[in-house]
Structure 1
């Protein structure tokens, strides 16, 4: 329960919403449940998030942003673009696998929420492909990669590695040999980028 001196912030609401979703699942979780967990009225929650859909979209964005932030740190590094690209793809795969494996109930919940939040997911994909574009452009500038259109190459990279980050493939992420398959795909796309 929230103490009388604690300020109700959007971040506190999102954290509580994540816990409510974990406990109740997306079908049963309500704004009233979130308010109850915070010790406030549901009207207080609605002052921060106008609708239940807006709250769910914000929770989904928060969840996706955790991955984006880690990857942005890799994309922004000033080092060999090929190593950076390899590390970025590995970090994306690791982050997605961790989310699926560490908390399968919450991952299932987010699968539902991402299905509802097309705009949020689209923004996430645009952010990730933007990071990839920066890496590919750095590789072109360094003479390591050959690409007439780094943005299109980045999008192709994203789609080519889909099996290792799209949640619809989560069941395959724990199969024996998946790491070897990942390395083979990364090697292949890097060879293609070298021209």
Structure 2
């Protein structure tokens, strides 16, 4: 194997791991495959990620964080809570749908990895619910939404929209009526938050 001329970083390893997972799948991909793709020894990979499980967890977290970061920008915007809530829910649905539809092999791989890394998934969900909490809380403070318990309301909104972001429902996302069903659900959620 030819030595790599680039500095080996955790980010480079994660990028290579994603490609290896796409090529071989989670059952066959190894740390040796990742090292080979990078042109380094597998010991070099282990200096950044102590175990194969740690590497797989980091790849899973990186994948989920892409969605979280995009949504965090919407949650932090300085505008009305209703518009932010609608845009946040739509962005989550769009992101999940693209992940499932644009690269189905990698999506299937990540479904396996997510099953292995429940703590990563729990942190991801907690982050998303906290973002919703920020939006709902801003809406309550502005008088646009009604809620006696903002964290519980944020979790309820997350749970109510689960069909449009939980990978278990990915097969439904390409359904011709999915967009209309999503819009109807978000309208219902917003009406409920307004106390109408």
State if a TM-score over 0.5 links the two structures.
yes
Task: Point out where structure 1 has 5 or more consecutive residues left out of the alignment.
Answer: none
Deviation at 1:5, TM superposition (A): 3.3
| CA deviation after TM superposition for structure 1 residue 176, in Å | 1.1
Q: Offset of 1:38 from its aligned partner?
A: 0.3
- CA distance, structure 2, for counterparts of residue 89 and residue 4 of structure 1: 42
Go from structure 1 to structure 2 and tell me whether the alpha carbon gap of 1:54 and 1:39 turns closer, same or farther (over 3 Å shift). Answer: same
The CA distance in 2 between the partners of 1:3 and 1:138, in whole Å, is: 53
Tell me, yes or no, if structure 1 residue 182 matches structure 2 residue 182: yes
TM-score, normalising length: structure 2: 0.98
> Structure 1: how far apart are the matches of 2:2 and 2:84?
43
Partner of 1:47: 47
What TM-score, normalized to structure 1? 0.98
Aligned to 1:147: 147
Whole-Å Cα distance in 2 between the matches of residues 152 and 57 of structure 1? Answer: 28
Instruction: Describe the shift of the 1:184–1:45 C-alpha distance in structure 2 as closer, same or farther (beyond 3 A).
Output: same
CA distance in 1 between partners of 2:56 and 2:181 (Å): 34
**C-alpha distance in 1 between matches for 2:92 and 2:2:** 35
Q: Partners in 2 of 1:118 and 1:54 — Cα distance?
A: 13
1:67 CA drift (Å): 0.3
Give secondary structure in 2 for the equivalent of 1:147: coil
Separation in 2 of the partners of 1:4 and 1:113? 28
Contact 1:14 1:59 in 2 (8 A): yes
User: How many pairs were matched up?
Assistant: 195
Pair 1:168–1:4, CA change in 2 (3 A): closer
Q: Tell me by how many angstroms 1:93 deviates.
A: 0.1
- The equivalent residue for 1:6 is 6
| Aligned CA distance change for structure 1 residues 83 and 16 (closer, same or farther; 3 Å) | same
Partner Cα distance (2:162, 2:174) in 1: 15
> Which residue is 2:15 aligned to?
15
1:80 aligns with: 80
Contact 2:60–2:120 (CA under 8 A) maintained in structure 1: yes
5+ long unaligned stretches in structure 2: none
Rounded to whole Å, the distance in 1 between the matches of 2:163 and 2:2 is 42
Q: Which residue number in structure 1 is paired with residue 135 of structure 2?
A: 135
RMSD, matched Cα: 1.0
| Deviant stretches of 4+, over 6 Å | none
2-structure distance, mates of 1:113, 1:5? 30
